[in-house]
Amino acid sequence: MALTRLDCTKCDRTYAPGVVLNLCTACNAPLFARYDLERAARTLRPEALATRERSMWRYHEVMPVEDPAQWLTLGEGWTPLLPTPRLGARMGMKRVWVKDESGNPTGSFKARGLSAAVTMAKVLGAKAVCLPSAGNAGSALGAYAARGGLEAHVFVPKDIASLFLMETRAYGAHVETVDGLITDAGRICAGLAKEHGWYECATLKEPYRVEGKKTMGYELAEQLGWTLPDVILYPTGGGTGLIGMWKAFEEMETMGLIGSKRPRMVAVQAEGCAPIVKAHAEGKPDAPMWPGATTHAHGLRVPKALGDFLILRAVKESGGTAVAVTEAEIIQGVKDISAAEGLFVAPEGGACVAALRKLQAAGQVTPDESVVVFNTGTGFKYVENMAPLW
């Protein structure tokens, strides 16, 4: 296979693949999978892709597992990129698309990362996996662990919508509710993982979730005829998707699939939890813990992201920005896209719609620019969260 090694994202350390690894043992930073891209480029060609399976595994040359028999798959990825002319027109924009992740297994983009991570966990011999979650990552972990016959442990804030508990437990996962935020859940999870020998799959704490998430970048390019849009709006909690897409663009350029042009990456957060927005505004390379984090868009309620420096670097290098929106703007965003296009999106998707409106009003995007808005999940799982604000 093309996977050759794992590189630390902060120091010079590299690791051989093929063993269970979490963070860099020298500096505790996330690891990135690296491939023999020259080899991958020989077969990862537009004409070859045209006939491949309708899942993220179509890019198997740049995935950690190439053998289809080993994939734990429920059909994740290859989601629609929908032109949204009515929504665009209402904002004075001519070329807006929504990358709609709601149709993924378990109803969110988390399926991509966990399909890749749990597949690798099983390949590497893990028997049990665990992570802290705001809801969707936990249910995706549970689903893929069930698919693979692995034990799963999920740690969630106790104010999580009840739907997530029912769903995740239905997959047979053990779910513990924690009095606190996802960072608190993460601490408890890490402690128990060490104690029991579970493979920790928290955001960026193992190298493969980002490999699943990066396929959003490959799909964007393929769906736009191997070009990229001018602007990407991405709801940013842990930020794995943004980091992953940025990695994907580099890989694609190396393989000659795209040129050097990059979209301006816009990290969208909630005003009640906007560490990346604050750090970006202040020109800092990383983002300190956000005190008293609060938002009903639970996927955005991440007060401290392990990959903060990677998010901020991608935003800066791309000439992009970071935008915070209010709770009311998020809900209005959900309503706007539902009514205009028939898409009942997650509040994280609504946040991006709201952010685009702000950028447009501020002249930070122009009417002719091509814009991709990410909807990272279905609104169905957030009815309990959204109802009081509706």
Residues lying near a copy of itself in the complex (CB under 8 A): 50-51, 54-55, 73-75, 78-80, 82, 86, 100, 103-107, 139, 142-147, 149, 162-163, 166-167, 170-172, 334-335, 338-344, 378-381, 383, 386-387, 390
Closest to 3 (Cα-Cα) out of 310, 251, 256: 251
> Considering the complex, what minimum distance in angstroms separates the CB of residue 65 from a copy of itself?
17
Q: Is 203 in contact with 182 (CB distance < 8 Å)?
A: no
User: How far apart are CB 199 and a copy of itself at their closest, in Å?
Assistant: 17
| Rounded CA separation 229/264 (Å) | 9
When the beta carbons of 3 and 345 are compared against a copy of itself, the nearer one is: 345
Nearer to a copy of itself (CB atom), residue 54 or residue 261: 54
| Integer Cα distance of 32 and 185 in angstroms | 24
Backbone dihedral angles phi then psi of residue 33, each to the nearest 5 degrees? -75, 135
Minimal distance in Å, beta carbon 103 to a copy of itself? 4
Beta strands in the chain (DSSP E): 3-8, 14-15, 31-35, 81-83, 95-100, 128-132, 151-157, 174-178, 199-200, 231-235, 264-270, 321-325, 370-375
Minimum distance of a copy of itself from residue 356's CB (angstroms): 18
The neighbouring-strand residues paired with 372 are: 97, 232
In the block, residue with structure tokens 């393989």: 255
Question: By CB neighbour count within 10 A (0-12 exposed, 13-18 middle, 19+ buried), where does 143 fall?
Answer: buried
Cβ-Cβ contacts under 8 Å for 51 (sequence gap 6 or more): none
Residue type, 65: V
Nearer residue to a copy of itself within complex by CB, 59 or 344: 344
Least separation in angstroms between CB 185 and a copy of itself: 21
- Residue that is written with structure tokens 């060609």 in the block: 45
Residue 153 DSSP SS3: strand
**Minimum Å distance from CB 150 to a copy of itself?**
11
Q: How far is the CB of 386 from a copy of itself (least distance, A)?
A: 8
Between 108 and 360, whose beta carbon lies closer to a copy of itself? 108
- Among candidate residues 146, 129, 134, 136, the one with its CA nearest the CA of residue 111: 136
Please state, in angstroms and as integers, the Cα–Cα distance from residue 76 to each residue in 72, 113, 143, 375, following that order: 10, 9, 12, 15
By the 8 A CB rule, do 374 and 345 touch? no
- Least distance from a copy of itself to the Cβ atom of residue 246, Å: 25
Q: Give min distance, CB of 307 to a copy of itself, in A.
A: 26
